[in-house]
Amino acid sequence: MHKLLKTDGQARRGYFETGHGIFQTPNFMPVGTKASVKGIDCQRLREAGTEITLVNTYHLWLRPGPELIQELGGIHKFASWGGPILSDSGGFQVFSLNSLRKLEEAGVTFSSHLDGTKMFLSPEKSIEIQEMLGVDIAMAFDECPPGDLPHDKVKQSLELTYRWAERSVAARKVPEKTKLFGIAQGGIFKDLRTKAAEMVSSLPFDGYAIGGLSVGEKKEDMYDVLSYHPQQLPADKIRYVMGVGTPEDIVEAVNNGVDLFDCVMPTRSGRFGRAFISGDEPYINMRGSRFKKDLRPLDENCSCIACQRYSRAYIHHLFQVEEMLGPTMLSLHNVTFFLTHLAKIRAAIETGSFGSYYSLIKEQWRKVTLGKNK
Amino acid sequence: MHKLLKTDGQARRGYFETGHGIFQTPNFMPVGTKASVKGIDCQRLREAGTEITLVNTYHLWLRPGPELIQELGGIHKFASWGGPILSDSGGFQVFSLNSLRKLEEAGVTFSSHLDGTKMFLSPEKSIEIQEMLGVDIAMAFDECPPGDLPHDKVKQSLELTYRWAERSVAARKVPEKTKLFGIAQGGIFKDLRTKAAEMVSSLPFDGYAIGGLSVGEKKEDMYDVLSYHPQQLPADKIRYVMGVGTPEDIVEAVNNGVDLFDCVMPTRSGRFGRAFISGDEPYINMRGSRFKKDLRPLDENCSCIACQRYSRAYIHHLFQVEEMLGPTMLSLHNVTFFLTHLAKIRAAIETGSFGSYYSLIKEQWRKVTLGKNK
């Protein structure tokens, strides 16, 4: 279902086919946690260049519930998004939002972060919910260990994740409608990542994801994992790095053969005043007083409404006076910026010039590391 | 500058000319307090049918300041709104947001509600700020007495407002660029309203406003004032009722010869979950569980994105899970609804059928009074 069109070094240009149309790869999925990409309506989302979005199984399970979404015709109709939709398995939220939980072979028992209701999530339950939502791509249910877990604990976790992956595959009821991706974990340990890749690749998934990155580990450690791990996953299937990342992280991963990304960064950063831009600085904080009289757009190369119609001075003002148009405009801009970044990556691979685009982005972000552009 | 095209009973159909183009009358101004109609960008605002917007002098005086807006090219460029803009005088906010204030013949001394800074607003200062903003229409600086003030106090206030109106007229520096409207006050007292109309009409304003309605008085009292007061203002000038109101209030006022309105109701109600609709009920609260499975649009006759793309069930969900898209979509819908209401009023006057549209709206709202549709 993932068709490769061209490669440029390890970077891959292709497309992936779903029941709701294809999406080009490499691509980025804006995150619509509760069936809404925060602050952006479905029409503006499409205008931003979105081809596929992600929803969170955990949140939709709690509210409004998969039964309701199914009854109302499925997630596409509910959220008024006609293109492909991927859901995560719910595992990440169970492990990150709920401190009171009990992990067993069967699954995880935890209390809802909303009202304390006792809940139980397992591979079978997760797949059932995701298929009820009617997403195009579901994720296998895995344990998401914290970034600082020691080697032996990560190893144990891997083995559980493998058994859960087998159960996730077995639990599928509508494989023709909802594709299923497996997830390789393994922390920052090369031997465990290698083992995880072998294990997950042995199962008949429609795509393979790398989990457990951008969960608190050092950037060098993440880049180290990216340097070998994607290549350990099947070359003929789509490769997806979950929850990553900055525009720099994305070129780094694409440079190592990754095809798909998701991250809350564009919308979350936008709500807090950060705008990603092209040029010398990779991002600017619009709360800064240096923008008070800046009549330039956020990014003169951007086609979003915020850049076409408003000045930095005005957007600075919106944040100063706490007008909600500030967060919504920056969210829209950042999503547009990320998707434009991915479109440039695809164009670069097509023309065999990914290397120079990669260098350009690395150079732009190098200055951030040096601390010149806080 | 206000040209009458047609009348139907007391209802008037016309247009008003400004340096930034004309707007049709009767019309409604969405309120952009801090140079932003809350949650709606300038493009969607135009698509909603907006012809003229209102900004608050008090808020823009505090942040970012009229000097900055002037330096950056004026309010139209700042807010990216090319059409007409009207500003209030700042008086209403000084009187409603600041409990610690000193009222004198010269003006009002008060403390900023933001940081307590001592500030002084007078007719001269208000006109200076409004002209610096570069609005098309400024309002005279008046005292805004509370709705429950007794007759003798309102009378005193009227006289001060008259002297301030004279000073507002005298303070103008760019009358060809910024028009000036006077304001009649007088509470709910017919003799004082009559006196106020005489006084303000004696001054050379470009338009005449009715202030002090919808400030806590009973609906019957407001409708009583509307029944005679607009007719006391010059027939050849535009008549504007400030801060009003519901779709019913608007037809009531138009039926008595009013041409222009502003109100925060569409956006404020929208943020709290209320949607104005056509049909049996004049509005619905989207937080209500009865909308949980309602696949209909908010209003099937509405052209806004919220109605074209989303169901009531989805919008109910957005409010349940506190997604910002809920407030922004309802704000956009309500602004579209109000402006469509005004367009229908204009069309009805043109075709001599205002009476039946008036009856339709009164009938729709009669049920609210009866308490059937809370």
Asked if A264 has any chain B CB less than 8 Å from its own CB, the reply is no
Q: How far is B361 from chain A (nearest CA, A)?
A: 31
Residue of A nearest to B324 (CA): A39
pLDDT digits (tens, 9 = 90+) for A164-189: 999 999 999 999 999 999 999 999 99
List chain B residues with CB under 8 Å of A78: 311, 313-314, 317
Q: For an interface test with A, give the residue of B31, B33, B34 to mutate (most A CBs within 10 A).
A: B34
Known catalytic residue at B259: no
Cα–Cα dist B74/B64, whole Å: 12
Is A40–B325 a contact, with Cβ atoms under 8 angstroms apart?
yes
Cα–Cα dist A75/B273, whole Å: 23
* Cα distances (Å, whole numbers) of residue B70 to B16, B129, B178, B214: 25, 10, 14, 33
Tell me what pLDDT residue B371 has: 44
Whether pLDDT at A374 is above 50: no
Q: How far is B313 from chain A (nearest CA, A)?
A: 8
Catalytic residue among B136, B142, B259, B262: B262
Is B43–A320 a contact, with Cβ atoms under 8 angstroms apart?
no
List chain A residues with CB under 8 Å of B292: 64, 68
Is B321–A34 a contact, with Cβ atoms under 8 angstroms apart?
yes
β partners of residue A180: A138
Q: Select the residue of A79, A313, A325 nearest B36 (Cβ to Cβ).
A: A325
A residues 11-40 lying closer than 8 A (beta carbon) to B? 34-36, 38-40
Q: Select the residue of A306, A309, A321 nearest B34 (Cβ to Cβ).
A: A321
Region B114-140: what's the mean pLDDT?
96
Q: Select the residue of A39, A72, A313 nearest B325 (Cβ to Cβ).
A: A39
CB atoms near residue B135 (< 10 Å): 29
Whether pLDDT at B98 is above 90: no
Is B41–A305 a contact, with Cβ atoms under 8 angstroms apart?
yes
Q: Which residues contact A196 (CB under 8 A, 6 or more apart)?
A: A158, A161, A162, A184, A185, A186
Asked if A58 has any chain B CB less than 8 Å from its own CB, the reply is no
Strand ordering across the sheet containing B27-30: B27-30, B260-263, B238-241, B207-210, B179-184, B137-139, B85-87, B53-55
Under a CB-based contact definition with an 8 Å cutoff, are residues B35 and B78 in contact?
Answer: yes
Beta pairing, strands A2-8 & A53-55: unpaired
Q: Which of A17-21, A114-118, A222-226, B304-308 has the lowest mean pLDDT?
A: A114-118
Region A36-42: what's the mean pLDDT?
98
Residue of B nearest to A332 (CA): B41
Is B295–A72 a contact, with Cβ atoms under 8 angstroms apart?
yes
Whether pLDDT at B204 is above 70: yes
User: Secondary structure of chain A: what % helix, strand, coil (to 5)?
Assistant: 45, 20, 40
Task: Give the pLDDT band of residue B369 (cuts 50, 70, 90).
Answer: low
pLDDT digits (tens, 9 = 90+) for A218-264: 999 999 999 999 999 999 999 999 999 999 999 999 999 999 999 99
Residue of A nearest to B295 (CA): A72
Under DSSP, is residue A220 helix (H, G, I), strand (E, B) or coil? helix
Give a three-class secondary structure readout of chain B: CEEEEEEECCEEEEEEEECCEEEEECEEEEECCCCCCCCCCHHHHHHCCCCCEEECHHHHHHCCCHHHHHHCCCHHHHHCCCCCEEECCCHHHHHHHCCCEEECCCCEEEECCCCCCEEEECHHHHHHHHHHHCCCEEECCCCCCCCCCCHHHHHHHHHHHHHHHHHHHHHCCCCCCCEEEEEECCCCCHHHHHHHHHHHHCCCCCEEEECCCCCCCCHHHHHHHHHHCHHHCCCCCEEEECCCCCHHHHHHHHCCCCCEEEECHHHHHHHCCEEECCCCCCEEECCCHHHCCCCCCCCCCCCCHHHHHCCHHHHHHHHHCCCCHHHHHHHHHHHHHHHHHHHHHHHHHHCCCHHHHHHHHHHHHHHHHCCCCC
Under a CB-based contact definition with an 8 Å cutoff, are residues B254 and B226 in contact?
Answer: no
β partners of residue B144: none
Query: For residue B102, is it left (φ>0), alpha (ψ between -120 and 50) or beta?
Result: beta
Known catalytic residue at B262: yes
Q: For an interface test with A, give the residue of B293, B324, B331 to mutate (most A CBs within 10 A).
A: B324
Residue of B nearest to A68 (CA): B293
- CB crowding B355-368: b at 16 or more within 10 Å, else e: eebbeebeebbeee
Asked if B78 has any chain A CB less than 8 Å from its own CB, the reply is yes
Tell me what pLDDT residue A371 has: 44
β partners of residue B184: B210
Work out the mean pLDDT of chain B and round it to a whole number. 96
> Between chain A and chain B, how many beta carbons pairs sit less than 8 Å apart?
109
Is A64–B39 a contact, with Cβ atoms under 8 angstroms apart?
no
Task: Give the pLDDT band of residue A367 (cuts 50, 70, 90).
Answer: confident
Tell me what pLDDT residue B373 has: 36
Under a CB-based contact definition with an 8 Å cutoff, are residues B45 and B289 in contact?
Answer: no
Q: Select the residue of B36, B68, B317 nearest A35 (Cβ to Cβ).
A: B317
List chain B residues with CB under 8 Å of A310: 42, 80
Under a CB-based contact definition with an 8 Å cutoff, are residues A266 and A331 in contact?
Answer: yes
Whether pLDDT at A146 is above 90: no
Q: How far is A313 from chain B (nearest CA, A)?
A: 8
Is B305–A68 a contact, with Cβ atoms under 8 angstroms apart?
no
Q: For an interface test with B, give the residue of A325, A329, A331 to mutate (most B CBs within 10 A).
A: A325
Cα dihedral across residues B171, B172, B173, B178: positive or negative: positive
Is A293–B71 a contact, with Cβ atoms under 8 angstroms apart?
yes
Residues of A noted as catalytic: 88, 262
Whether pLDDT at B12 is above 80: yes
* Cα distances (Å, whole numbers) of residue A29 to A25, A86, B340: 11, 9, 36
List chain A residues with CB under 8 Å of B325: 36, 38-41
Q: How far is A146 from chain B (nearest CA, A)?
A: 27
Task: Give the pLDDT band of residue A369 (cuts 50, 70, 90).
Answer: low
Is B295–A321 a contact, with Cβ atoms under 8 angstroms apart?
no
Q: Select the residue of B59, B72, B329 nearest A295 (Cβ to Cβ).
A: B72
Under DSSP, is residue A7 helix (H, G, I), strand (E, B) or coil? strand
Distance from the Cα of residue B156 to its chain's centroid: 26
Under a CB-based contact definition with an 8 Å cutoff, are residues A12 and A259 in contact?
Answer: yes
- pTM of the entire predicted model: 0.97
Question: B54 vs B98, which has greater pLDDT?
Answer: B54
Region B26-31: what's the mean pLDDT?
98
Q: What ipTM does this complex have?
A: 0.97
Beta pairing, strands B27-30 & B260-263: parallel
Is A324–B329 a contact, with Cβ atoms under 8 angstroms apart?
no
Write the single-letter amino acid at B299. Answer: D
Cα–Cα dist A227/B140, whole Å: 68
Is B329–A292 a contact, with Cβ atoms under 8 angstroms apart?
no
Q: Which of A116-120, A262-266, B335-339 has the lowest mean pLDDT?
A: A116-120
List chain B residues with CB under 8 Å of A68: 292-293, 313
β partners of residue A239: A208
Task: Give the pLDDT band of residue A309 (cuts 50, 70, 90).
Answer: very high
Whether pLDDT at B44 is above 80: yes
Q: What is the share, in percent, of chain A residues with pLDDT greater than 70?
A: 98
Q: Select the residue of B79, B310, B317 nearest A314 (Cβ to Cβ).
A: B79
Tell me what pLDDT residue A373 has: 36
Whether pLDDT at B75 is above 80: yes
Under DSSP, is residue A87 helix (H, G, I), strand (E, B) or coil? strand
Q: What are phi and psi of A192, to 5 degrees?
A: -75, -40
Asked if B328 has any chain A CB less than 8 Å from its own CB, the reply is yes
Nearest residue to B69 (alpha-carbon basis) of A151, A316, A105: A316
Q: What is the share, in percent, of chain A residues with pLDDT greater than 90?
A: 90
**Per-residue DSSP letter, A3:** E
Work out the mean pLDDT of chain A and round it to a whole number. 96
List chain A residues with CB under 8 Å of B48: none
Q: Which of A276-280, B67-71, B79-83, B196-200 has the lowest mean pLDDT?
A: A276-280
pLDDT digits (tens, 9 = 90+) for B147-184: 888 999 999 999 999 999 999 999 999 999 999 999 99
Region A311-337: what's the mean pLDDT?
98
Is B324–A327 a contact, with Cβ atoms under 8 angstroms apart?
yes
Tokens of B29: 């101004």
Q: What is the share, in percent, of chain B residues with pLDDT greater than 90?
A: 90
pLDDT digits (tens, 9 = 90+) for B213-270: 999 899 999 999 999 999 999 999 999 999 999 999 999 999 999 999 999 999 999 9
Under a CB-based contact definition with an 8 Å cutoff, are residues B89 and B138 in contact?
Answer: yes
Asked if B370 has any chain A CB less than 8 Å from its own CB, the reply is no
Catalytic residue among B8, B88, B136, B259: B88
CB atoms near residue B295 (< 10 Å): 13
Q: For an interface test with B, give the residue of A321, A322, A335 to mutate (most B CBs within 10 A).
A: A321
